[in-house]
Structure 1
Amino acid sequence: MTKPFIVEERDVEAVQLPGGGAFWLLEDAENSHGLFGANRLLLPAGADGTRPHHHTRSTEIFYILSGTMEFLVEGALHQARQGTLISIPPNTTHAFGASSAGPAEFLALLTPGIPRFDYFRQLGRIARGEADWSTMDDLHDRFDVHFDGPPDWR
């Protein structure tokens, strides 16, 4: 049974990214008993969050806290400004990144939740040059992230 819980900023793990970006790992589907996972992400101007991919088991929900994001959803490019909510159902190809106009920060929720903190930690290591992209090859099914296109989607 799910019980109420509170996650305070001082207790949140931050995964640093190049250029001043970061992931804040808020909920790994553990406290919510799989109901959802939650992360906050800050991307520097023009930085990609991810290449085109889909999830087979989860809906991914984004809320733009500041700045402007660019989303590729099933081949169409969309601008999402502060205050925009985006919902991506399972099996929908999508990608996202900060616009070139400035940094962007957003909240990302996945429901149902899949424990993914290890995925984001590894992405941080890759982004910082501490690991090679090939280290992700065996992790896609485990974390329900299935790539559908090249990294240069914009």
Structure 2
Amino acid sequence: MEAPANALVVHPGEAAEASLTDGAFELLADGGAVSASRLTLAVGADGAPPHHHKLSHEVFYVLGGTMVFRLGDSLTTVKKGGLVIIPPGLAHAFGAAEAEVADVVVVLSPGIERFGYFEQLAAISRGEAEFDSLVPEQDRYDVHFEDIPDWRSAP
């Protein structure tokens, strides 16, 4: 049986992928009502530099391992089965805990076409591009970088 024409169904193995030096992205849905990805991070790896979104809520559901989040001025750890919802405007960063691999589904709503952002992040992690190449794209991808040099340190 097929899904209705207006439904999005992504079967295993159909997602676009972007490999990182410390993990991998599966890019599941891009734009529309939501943007969705699955992120697997190596032990202690950072997921994204500190940033905020002006337009989107960001939702994290931890499938495995433990994630560390900086939410504004607070640090928190979230284990398998935990959920984090970040409202627009809240500065945040995230990564795998120091002793664990982490597996997380990330959803942004409303969705913004961001596959290009994730592909650029992957290129940066592999040393193929400079981080500064993303700075002019902050509005396009609704990812606005924050100056928090050591985000894992307690504020």
* TM over 0.5, shorter chain: yes
Hey, what's the Cα distance between the residues in 2 that align with 1:26 and 1:97?
20
The runs of 5 or more residues in structure 1 that have no matched partner are: none
The answer to whether the 8 A contact 1:51-1:151 is kept is no
SS of 1:120's partner is: helix
By how many angstroms is 1:51 displaced?
2.1
Give a deviation string over 1:9-28, Cα, whole Å, max 9, x none. 22111111114x10000000
Matched, 1:26 2:24: no
Q: Which residue of 2 aligns with 1:7?
A: 10
Give the one of 76, 79, 101 matched to 1:78.
76
Contact 1:61 1:110 in 2 (8 A): yes
Partner of residue 119 from structure 1, selected from 110, 113, 117: 117
Moved more, 106-115 or 126-135: 126-135
1:22 corresponds to which letter in structure 2? A
**Amino acid aligned to 2:13:** R
Q: Deviations over 1:44-66 (max 9, x none)?
A: 01111112211000000000000
Say which of 60, 73, 84 aligns to 1:62. 60
- Quote the offset at 1:151 in angstroms: 4.2
SS at match of 1:134: helix
Letter in 2 for 1:115: E
Distance 1:24 1:39 in 2: 5
Counterpart contact for 1:51–1:149, Cα < 8 Å: no
Which secondary structure does the structure 1 equivalent of 2:136 belong to? coil
**Match status 1:16 vs 2:19:** yes
1:102 to 1:26, Cα distance in 2 relative to 1, 3 A: same
Task: Tell me if the contact between 1:51 and 1:152 (Cα under 8 Å) persists in the aligned partners.
Answer: no
Identity of aligned residues (%): 46
2:151 corresponds in structure 1 to: 153
Is 83-92 or 9-18 further displaced after alignment? 9-18
Q: Partner of 1:135: helix, strand, or coil? A: helix
The SS at the match of 2:10 is: coil
Distance 1:147 1:71 in 2: 16
Measure the CA separation in 1 of the matches of 2:30 and 2:149: 26
Residue 13 of structure 2: SS of its match in structure 1? helix
Distance 2:132 2:72 in 1: 26
Task: Give the Å deviation of 1:152.
Answer: 2.3
Name the CA distance, whole Å, in 2 between partners of 1:68 and 1:149.
Answer: 25
Q: State how far apart, in whole Å, the 2-side matches of 1:12 and 1:27 are.
A: 8
TM-score by length of 1: 0.92
Residue 107 of structure 1 corresponds to 105
What is the DSSP-based 3-state SS (H/G/I as helix, E as strand, rest coil) of the residue aligned with 2:60? strand
Following the alignment from structure 2 to structure 1, what is the Cα–Cα distance between the partners of residues 133 and 71? 26
Gaps of 5+ in 2: none
| Corresponding letter in the other structure for 1:26 | L
